Structure 1
């Protein structure tokens, strides 16, 4: 890592690019709570070590539990849920169609963003997001708390988040198989050994695709140049 930091610093000096070292940090991803990363320097300045790193709106924690990201997603969704609560009413307010559109447009995206990365998180973490959708469905339908959530899902109809996460995982896996130079293509197409108790994207996608082996393509080939140009 230090060699990579040195190359980055050399590139920045060659191209006269200034890197804000105060905003730069490092994060060691490991399953061991005792292992610590050594100090990495950028241009002689030691970089601070953070427990979490955010990339494209997804928060990566050191042990890849995804708990911080899911907690942030829940907080954002609950803030928007307050808007839905203001619009809903037993004798006044927006109708069910409008409430459903509001939920699907501004609340559910927070519950699903980047789900192909963190869908292997612990069930207790994922259930916090499911509870947000359950509250939204009760606001949309005006159902009582004692009403079974499965019946509300049939009434709306809005698919459970767990099923949507599984579908997104399978779609993402098939997309990666179509990329000839992507490193995940080889891992998805060959046998892999799971040395850890924790599941991964590769093992989860293979588990989900087993019941659909007869309908899913076994040998996915990338599009040729002629096929791409065909309207």
Structure 2
């Protein structure tokens, strides 16, 4: 990879891409100021970035961050159920944007990131990964075979990245020495200040992890986890990892052969988990066996009773598996997922109904589109072909929403969920067509 080139054009583009609605970081500079002054600042910042890169030194003031804990699922009184999002200085973000643009272009052009990684990559999404996985499992089930899938949980994946392991991998990707030195400085001697409800802690040093909120962090994480994907049939969306093994069946296969095939699946998955566990030990990555999910996909009447072990812990196969926010049953169906999303959307719509008197009809419609409808449409291309009886509850919720909006003109402009599902499915289809087909 050639050294990163900082041009006034690339710096100006990064300045103009700043979101003026975002808050300022530790430097206290509002994004709108830098965006409005982009023509004047671009030449100065270009020289500054070139100097920083040539020396391999990131200014110390750029390595501070305000960390805002964002709640995840679970008990909000438990500190482990919060995701730390870092608000970093804007000058650092601008330089990271230019560096990251060059780095990702190089990695993608030379196909250095595993094809089984779907996170933080242009043209790939969580939906793409789910389509691929469910297609594999459905083929096995429909051909009277079986599939065994394991969803892995990496404890504090971003926050516990071992810097020494990450930095040792950079030269193997062909990154120039200056860039490696700059990234080393970028990760070293960082400090954070936690901000909760306007109250701030003192600055505390951190010596591990890639800060969530930095532009460069996702790419560094991809490089860190990339060699784990060489373990076997394992696919990732960032740190969400799913391994599997399957076989396609034949008609009239004997019960004894089914047992033999299933034992082979368990052995394959255990071998995969052993390799992943070895990778974790080498990179100081901790997996949580208690949060690891296992599901056996089959259409056979005799149950899949054999389960693999992970780090000495037996994994009990469940009737479904949750991957990237979608619940998939052992028959590769989505009935449970649709029921759960219908309940959640109905609950949120109830809140909107009770608060509706405080909003105008147009505002109620906007709240429905922003807070309720997305729950009924996430990855709809996966389950759009579900039986109509499973989709009807979603349609009822939209009709109920139309009554809450209480404006005939606005309600008539609301596209049906069925139409939107068709459009989403067609969009996925056309996005994967090779150029020149049409």
The answer, yes or no, to whether TM exceeds 0.5 is yes
Do the aligned residues in 2 keep the contact of 1:26 with 1:50 (CA within 8 Å)? yes
Q: Which residue of 2 aligns with 1:156?
A: 412
Count the aligned residue pairs. Answer: 170
1:25 and 2:293 aligned: yes
Instruction: Structure 1: give runs of 5+ residues left out of the alignment.
Output: 143-151, 179-216, 221-231
Residue 44 of structure 1 is matched in structure 2 by 312
Which of 251, 261, 270 is the matching residue for 1:2?
270
Q: Corresponding residue for 1:176?
A: 432
Match of 1:122 among 364, 384, 387: 387
Higher RCO structure, 1 or 2 (CA under 8 Å, sep 6+): 2
TM-score (structure 1 length as normaliser): 0.66
Checking the alignment, whether the CA contact within 8 Å between 1:52 and 1:60 is kept in structure 2 is: yes
C-alpha distance in structure 1 between counterparts of 2:313 and 2:370, whole Å: 45
Counterpart for residue 105 of structure 1: 370
Deviates more, 1:39-48 or 1:162-171: 39-48
Per-residue CA deviation, residues 51-73 of structure 1 (Å, 9 max, x unaligned), is 22112211111112201111111
Change (3 A) 1:174 1:128: same
Q: CA deviation at 1:170?
A: 0.4
Shift of 1:113: 0.9
SS of 2:291's equivalent in the other structure is: coil
Q: If each structure's strand is expressed as a fraction of its own residues, which one has the higher value?
A: 2
Aligned to 1:134: 399
Q: Which string of whole-angstrom CA distances, capped at 9 and with x for unpartnered residues, describes residues 137-180 of structure 1?
A: 112126xxxxxxxxx698531111011001100001111225xx
Q: Does the CA contact (< 8 Å) of 2:405 and 2:411 recur in 1? A: no
Deviation at 1:104, TM superposition (A): 0.9
Unpaired runs of at least 5, structure 2: 1-268
Cα separation, 2, equivalents of 1:130 and 1:49: 33
Match of 2:437 in 1: 219
* 2:328 alignment counterpart: 60
CA contact (8 A) 1:153 1:160 kept: no
**Structure 2 Cα separation of the partners of residues 22 and 155 of structure 1:** 46
In angstroms, what is the RMSD of aligned CA positions?
2.3
SS in 1 for 2:413: coil
8 Å Cα contact 2:362-2:410 kept in structure 1: no
Q: Which runs of 4+ in 1 moved over 3 A?
A: 152-155
User: TM-score, normalised to structure 2's length?
Assistant: 0.36
